């Protein structure tokens, strides 16, 4: 089994002037047999978290907090090291800053992404829900599962990719280390740049862009993860909070 680590998202509830929960604490634990370096990136106008990248030795944990309404992504970086000049880089998921911190940069594909949008404080309808998913649209480097505890709603269910796709990655998509070990699996879009695989151009809508043989391969192994851009119906999950989320790499 490949590397694994656990991300637990724990909602911290409290009342401020009669309002709803205002912060969420993200607690990361590493169950790998070797270190994993977490990357974080805020989106949608959200402020960057207090740490944008940090190491997690095996068996360790760390935590971050975010305000209500925060959105962003987390991913794991693997096979990381610093060269003789001190420049830091990773074989998978590298954010290309030369540092452990990603400083507002995303992870280089292929990388398995955990995407989260937290409920707005005091929101209702869509604004009152946490949205989360695991995406393989940018390829795959580590298996991930996300399981909510607490919260409510028909779509407040486990998400993710439990299987090691590196062992079944087609040769034309494989990313290998120097010794030939496959360490990541590219998306067909990244590998070939074809509009059909990328859901762009004439294929830039749900009506015209369906699954391909490559996305079907990902989907058959990981039915609760995004396999291509318009894979929303079976890949987006929501919880009406407060809820906690356990995210495990290589469950």
Cα 105 from Cα 95, distance rounded (Å):
6
Tokens at residue 104, please?
């507002």
Share of the chain above pLDDT 70, in %: 88
Note the pLDDT tens digit of each residue in 205-221.
999 999 999 999 999 99
* Alpha helices (runs of H) in the chain, residue ranges in sequence order: 188-192, 195-198, 213-221
> Does 119 map to a domain?
yes
**What contacts 165, CB < 8 A, 6 or more positions away?**
136, 140, 143, 185, 218, 221, 222
Residues 90, 189: one domain? no
CB 25 within 8 A of CB 242: no
Is 1 within a domain? Answer: no
CATH code where residue 32 lies: 2.60.110.10
Residue 102 resides in a domain: yes
pTM for this entry? 0.87
| Domain with 184 in it | 165-221
Answer yes or no: do 126 and 23 share one domain: yes
Q: Other C-beta atoms within 10 Å of 15: how many? A: 9
Mean pLDDT by 10 residues, the chain (251 residues): 44 39 73 85 92 88 83 94 97 97 97 91 71 94 81 90 91 96 96 96 96 94 93 89 74 68
Mean of per-residue pLDDT scores for the chain: 86
């Amino acid at each position: 089994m490949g590397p694994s680590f656990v991300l637990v998202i724990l909602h911290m509830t409290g009342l401020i002037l009669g309002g709803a929960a205002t912060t969420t604490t993200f607690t990361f634990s590493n169950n790998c047999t070797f270190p994993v370096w977490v990357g974080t990136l805020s989106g949608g106008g959200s402020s960057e978290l207090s740490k944008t990248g940090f190491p997690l030795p095996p068996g360790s944990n760390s935590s971050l907090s975010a305000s209500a309404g925060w959105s962003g992504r987390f991913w794991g970086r693997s096979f990381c090291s610093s060269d003789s000049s001190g420049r830091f880089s990773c074989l998978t998921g590298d954010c290309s800053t030369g540092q452990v911190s990603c400083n507002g940069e995303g992870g280089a594909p292929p990388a398995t992404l955990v995407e989260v949008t937290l409920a707005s404080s005091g929101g209702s309808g869509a604004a009152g829900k946490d949205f989360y998913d695991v995406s393989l649209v940018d390829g795959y480097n580590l298996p991930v599962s996300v399981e909510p505890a607490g919260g409510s709603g028909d779509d407040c269910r486990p998400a993710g990719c439990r299987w090691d796709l590196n062992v079944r990655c087609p040769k034309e998509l494989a990313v290998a280390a120097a010794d030939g070990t496959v360490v990541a699996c590219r998306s067909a879009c990244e590998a070939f740049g074809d509009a059909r695989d990328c859901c762009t151009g004439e294929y830039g809508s749900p009506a015209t862009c369906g699954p391909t043989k490559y996305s079907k391969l990902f989907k058959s192994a990981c039915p609760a993860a995004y396999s291509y851009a318009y894979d929303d119906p079976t890949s987006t999950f929501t919880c009406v909070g407060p809820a906690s989320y356990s995210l495990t790499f290589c469950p």
